Amino acid sequence: MATEDVKAKTTKKKEKVAPKPADLALDVASQEMIARSREMEIETIFDRAQTMKPCNIGVQGTCCKNCAQGPCRLPLPKSGIEGKDTRKGLCGATPETIAARNFARMVAGGAAAHSDHGRGVAETFLAAARKETHDYSIKDTKKLLEIAPDFGVEITVEGEDGQVMDRDIDEIALEVAEKALAQWGQQQGEVMTVKRAPAPRYELWKKLGVVPRGIDREIVEIMHRTHIGVDQDYENIVEQCSRAAIADGWGGSMIATDLQDILFGCPYPVKSSANLGILKEDHVNIIIHGHEPLLSEMIVQAAELPEMIELAKKNGAKGIQLGGICCTANEILMRHGVPLAGNFLQQELAIVTGAVDAMVVDVQCIMENIANVADCFHTKIITTNPRAKIASGHCLHIEFDEHTAFEDAKRIVQTAIENFPNREKEVIIPDQRHDLVAGFSYEAINYHLGGTFRGSYVPLNDNIINGRIRGIGGVVGCNNARTMLDDGHITVIKELIKHDVIVLTTGCNAIACAKAGLLTPESAKVFCGPGLAEVCETVGIPPVLHMGSCVDNSRILMAATEVVKAGGLGNDISDVPVAGSAPEWMSEKAISIGHYFVVSGVYTVFGVTFPVSGAPVFEDYLYNKLEGIYGGMWDLEADPIKHAHKMIAHIDKKRKALGIDKARERVLMDMADRQKLEAA
Ligand code: SF4
Ligand code: MSK
């Protein structure tokens, strides 16, 4: 071949055409902003995902860098393993040990993130109970009284005359606060909230010796065991993962959710809207992004102050528009109806509109590159948490302290307002926003199904037993730039509801559903199978119930527990026709959540990729053997339709085991059937 031809061929090979925005994101608003970022030559995660490919060995979970003799890299040979697997790290660590250690460190990272969030909430709760802050107080006394006994706190007291009286609420709050905070540093005994699980589940954990002793202790022990030369038995490592994950889901995350509900109110159904179209050109736009509601609750109040609205007007705006990204978004949506601006992969794109006057961030899922994108606009990035700063001259740090919370929030809102006149680039806001109904705490589901006086999960169970509802899908989790934004989420969920599986959602999945219009009762008749559509229509609920943020996956555990308690669907979560899923996961928190779903008895499928493929024996342990121990197991399925059908197959397996599989052969409902359903 002539030299010129070779050159032409090589150059041609190098000229890789960037994928079209429509191939990178499902929603039109994101597509428009990806296109705009390209026109403006602003690099985003969508570009980096093309130029940087993931490491082939890390993806398999078999790269170890736990000591300075490595990294030791043990990729699976292309031809597979024939005979004995002789791969070893320098110290002799097998692929199984390495993949298990990496998996365990992800559980530790995820559990630590959730639980440290929970600790922050518990500390604020204690400050409120001690009346050290005027900015927070006990709002939901009903929930306080409900959870107090779980911490061994009496809610009544016997008077001198032998009469039983209600105890003082402040006293109860203080005792609950102290007991709750003690769960983190506890060294012996059991994390107290773990006993909320159905009795057979708790007994199984006791038998297996995986009831967590203290939240921090189990996380620290993972880090110890995965140090070079400690735990070299993948089954034993997974056992410790189970302790830490239970300490997260049934401990740190659950306590965070409870105490947030008591401080800010338990969520009940609320209407709002979602996507970048919620931003307003003539308003000061403040995006709140991250995970903790402690600050965002204060910002919501500060933004409503007449003096702030007046200041906004003085600066040329018509008012103040708040919008959320990631789980902070879910927190303030659930309790105040603040609209959702977008999910994880939309954080840079929100700034690209040119309409964001401040993006206020706390902790978790905040991409460092928002500082670079903000640099191209007038947007101020305001970090607020001492744990999460961004080393960029363009970021402002206004530290948030629970003792001066409202004043801090006012400073932040004021900073955003004063930045409004500094807009320099053209503002382009995609005309995309969808209505939604959110706020389905497990208490709200109880109320919605059964009414104020006879709130109960019995109607849900009845409809599962009679086959109108096939089962329950818990579909949650992140976006992942290695796959099309929201495509996995929406394809999986549409397939589930089409087959009469009701979906409980949290996190960025919930935001994806909101953008796709799946969080409205009206969506039921468009997307659901006849049975689920009938139930949603009768009860007036969407087929996808938004339960909150990442820590609120604990609400899904409690909903599953309520289903068990309502009767007729077995004695434990592992008996219920339920399956879990994270179609676009990416964070370590997703691994901790997945593992506490699995050890709670739930078959859990992840999409995109799973970092264990380089260690087939360990992979088989997670995907198959765990079912024999916990009744739940992991699985991976990247194809969203197959992913949904694996969940449906599991749900059908559970229906069969319960003897309710025949109930699905049903005729269309007549008026008498509808009346029966309403009366259930
Ligand atoms: Fe290699 Fe062992 Fe060190 Fe890991 S711990 S880097 S496998 S020598
Ligand atoms: S925010 S952990 S990307 S769900 Fe909770 Fe979304 Fe995943 Fe962060």
Please give the tally of structural domains in the chain. 3
Q: Give the pLDDT band (50/70/90) at residue 242.
A: very high
In the DSSP assignment, the letter for residue 74 is -
Residues 568 and 471 in one domain: yes
* CA 341 – ligand 2 centroid, Å: 14
Ligand 2 pocket mutation, candidates 364, 489, 506, 515, criterion most atoms within 8 A of CB? 364
* CA 589 – ligand 2 centroid, Å: 8
| Any domain includes 11 | no
Query: What is the DSSP annotation of 574-603?
Result: GGSSEEEEETT--SHHHHHHHHHHHHTT-E
Which tokens is 135 given? 């900015």
Closest atom of ligand 1 to 228 CA is 5
Which tokens is 343 given? 């999910």
Q: Give the pLDDT band (50/70/90) at residue 680.
A: very low
Read off the CATH number of the domain in which 513 is found.
3.40.50.2030
Q: Which residues contact 313 (CB under 8 A, 6 or more apart)?
A: 319
Tracing tokens 């370590």 back to the chain, one arrives at 588
Q: Is 117 in the pocket of ligand 2 (CB under 6 A)?
A: no
- pLDDT of 322 over the 90 cut: yes
| Any domain includes 559 | yes
How many CB atoms lie under 10 A from the CB of residue 497? Answer: 27
More confident residue, 253 or 12: 253
What average pLDDT does the segment 212-239 reach? 98
20-71 pLDDT, tens digit each: 999 999 999 999 999 999 999 999 999 999 999 999 999 999 999 999 999 9
Ligand nearest to the CA of 363: 2
Quote the longest CA-to-CA distance of the chain: 107
Q: Which residues, listed in sequence order, are joined to residue 72 by a DSSP beta bridge?
A: 64
Residues 556 and 455 in one domain: yes
What secondary structure, in 3-state letters, does 189-226 show? CCCHHHHHCCHHHHHHHHHHCCCCCCHHHHHHHHHHHC
* CA 223 – ligand 1 centroid, Å: 15
Q: Which of 380, 398, 422 is the last residue of a domain?
A: 422
Which DSSP helix (H) or strand (E) runs through 380? strand 380-383
What's residue 136's pLDDT?
A: 95
What secondary structure, in 3-state letters, does 106-131 show? HHHHHHHHHHHHHHHHHHHHHHHHCC
Q: Is 245 in the pocket of ligand 2 (CB under 6 A)?
A: no
Q: Give the pLDDT band (50/70/90) at residue 392.
A: confident
Using DSSP's 3-state secondary structure scheme, residue 655 falls into helix
| Any domain includes 59 | no
More confident residue, 12 or 362: 362
- pLDDT of 667 over the 50 cut: no
Residues 256 and 399 in one domain: no
User: Minimal CA–CA distance to 346: which of 337, 338, 356?
Assistant: 356
> By mean pLDDT, which of 94-98, 154-158, 430-434, 513-517 is the weakest?
154-158
> By mean pLDDT, which of 22-26, 163-167, 245-249 is the weakest?
163-167
Name the percent of the chain lying above pLDDT 90: 88
Q: Is 302 in the pocket of ligand 1 (CB under 6 A)?
A: no
What's residue 452's pLDDT?
A: 47
Using DSSP's 3-state secondary structure scheme, residue 17 falls into coil
80-92 pLDDT, tens digit each: 888 899 999 999 9
Q: Give the pLDDT band (50/70/90) at residue 14.
A: low
Residues 284 and 403 in one domain: yes
Helices in 404-552 by DSSP H: which ranges?
405-419, 442-450, 458-465, 487-498, 507-515, 523-527, 530-539
Cβ atoms of 292 and 259 closer than 8 Å? no
**Which sign does the torsion angle of CA 174, 143, 365, 319 carry?**
negative
- pLDDT of 670 over the 60 cut: no
Residues 459 and 346 in one domain: no
What average pLDDT does the segment 386-400 reach? 90
Ligand 1 pocket mutation, candidates 63, 64, 94, 102, criterion most atoms within 8 A of CB? 64
Q: Which residues contact 477 (CB under 8 A, 6 or more apart)?
A: 507, 508, 509, 581, 582, 583, 584, 585, 590, 593
Q: Is 591 in the pocket of ligand 2 (CB under 6 A)?
A: no
What's residue 12's pLDDT?
A: 52
Q: Which residues, listed in sequence order, are joined to residue 397 by a DSSP beta bridge?
A: 383
Q: Is 508 in the pocket of ligand 2 (CB under 6 A)?
A: yes
Task: State the residue range of the domain holding 360.
Answer: 276-422
Atom 7 of ligand 2 has which residue's CA nearest to it?
Answer: 478
Ligand 1 pocket mutation, candidates 63, 88, 90, criterion most atoms within 8 A of CB? 90
Q: Give the pLDDT band (50/70/90) at residue 1.
A: very low
What's residue 668's pLDDT?
A: 45
* CA 266 – ligand 1 centroid, Å: 48
144/585 Cα distance (integer angstroms): 33
- pLDDT of 676 over the 50 cut: yes
Q: Is 507 in the pocket of ligand 2 (CB under 6 A)?
A: yes
Q: Is 477 in the pocket of ligand 2 (CB under 6 A)?
A: yes
Residues 297 and 260 in one domain: no
Q: Which of 264, 290, 313 is the last residue of a domain?
A: 264
Ligand nearest to the CA of 290: 2
Mean of all residue pLDDT scores within the chain: 93
Helix axes 95-129 and 293-303, enclosed angle (nearest 10)? 50
| Any domain includes 190 | yes
* CA 68 – ligand 1 centroid, Å: 8
| Any domain includes 516 | yes
Residues 458 and 598 in one domain: yes
What's residue 4's pLDDT?
A: 54
Q: Which residues contact 529 (CB under 8 A, 6 or more apart)?
A: 470, 497, 498, 499, 500
Atom 3 of ligand 2 has which residue's CA nearest to it?
Answer: 478
Q: Is 344 in the pocket of ligand 2 (CB under 6 A)?
A: yes
Closest atom of ligand 1 to 71 CA is 6
Burial of 41 (0-12, 13-18, 19+ CB in 10 A): exposed
What average pLDDT does the segment 138-159 reach? 94
Residues 290 and 343 in one domain: yes
> Rounded to an integer, what is the distance from CA 217 to the centroid of its chain?
23
Q: Is 589 in the pocket of ligand 2 (CB under 6 A)?
A: yes
Q: Is 345 in the pocket of ligand 2 (CB under 6 A)?
A: no
Residues 156 and 283 in one domain: no
- pLDDT of 3 over the 90 cut: no
Question: What does the buried/exposed string (b/e) look like for 365-390 if buried means 16 or more CB atoms within 10 Å of the residue's CB?
Answer: bbbebbbbbbbbbbbbbbbbbeeeeb
Residues 325 and 438 in one domain: no
* CA 235 – ligand 1 centroid, Å: 19
* CA 62 – ligand 1 centroid, Å: 11
Ligand 1 pocket mutation, candidates 96, 228, 230, criterion most atoms within 8 A of CB? 228
Read off the CATH number of the domain in which 108 is found.
1.20.1270.30
| Any domain includes 582 | yes
> Rounded to an integer, what is the distance from CA 545 to the centroid of its chain?
14
What's residue 8's pLDDT?
A: 52
Ligand nearest to the CA of 227: 1
Atom 8 of ligand 2 has which residue's CA nearest to it?
Answer: 365
Q: Is 173 in the pocket of ligand 1 (CB under 6 A)?
A: no
Closest atom of ligand 2 to 585 CA is 7
* CA 477 – ligand 2 centroid, Å: 6
Q: Is 72 in the pocket of ligand 1 (CB under 6 A)?
A: yes
Tracing tokens 């911490």 back to the chain, one arrives at 151
What average pLDDT does the segment 303-317 reach? 98
374/568 Cα distance (integer angstroms): 54
Atom 2 of ligand 1 has which residue's CA nearest to it?
Answer: 91
448-458 pLDDT, tens digit each: 776 545 567 88
| Any domain includes 205 | yes
Phi and psi (nearest 5°) for 233?
-130, 110
How many CB atoms lie under 10 A from the CB of residue 233? Answer: 12
Helices in 28-136 by DSSP H: which ranges?
28-39, 45-51, 56-59, 95-129
Atom 3 of ligand 1 has which residue's CA nearest to it?
Answer: 67
Q: Is 109 in the pocket of ligand 2 (CB under 6 A)?
A: no
Residues 258 and 147 in one domain: yes
> Rounded to an integer, what is the distance from CA 297 to the centroid of its chain?
19
Residues 475 and 565 in one domain: yes
How many CB atoms lie under 10 A from the CB of residue 282? Answer: 13
477/327 Cα distance (integer angstroms): 10
What's residue 251's pLDDT?
A: 98
Q: Give the pLDDT band (50/70/90) at residue 612.
A: very high
Closest atom of ligand 2 to 587 CA is 2
Ligand nearest to the CA of 92: 1
78-137 pLDDT, tens digit each: 888 888 999 999 999 999 999 999 999 999 999 999 999 999 999 999 999 999 999 999
| Any domain includes 6 | no
Q: Is 93 in the pocket of ligand 1 (CB under 6 A)?
A: yes
Which tokens is 9 given? 């061929």
What's residue 445's pLDDT?
A: 86
Q: Which of 377, 392, 422 is the last residue of a domain?
A: 422
> By mean pLDDT, which of 159-173, 622-636, 665-679 is the weakest?
665-679
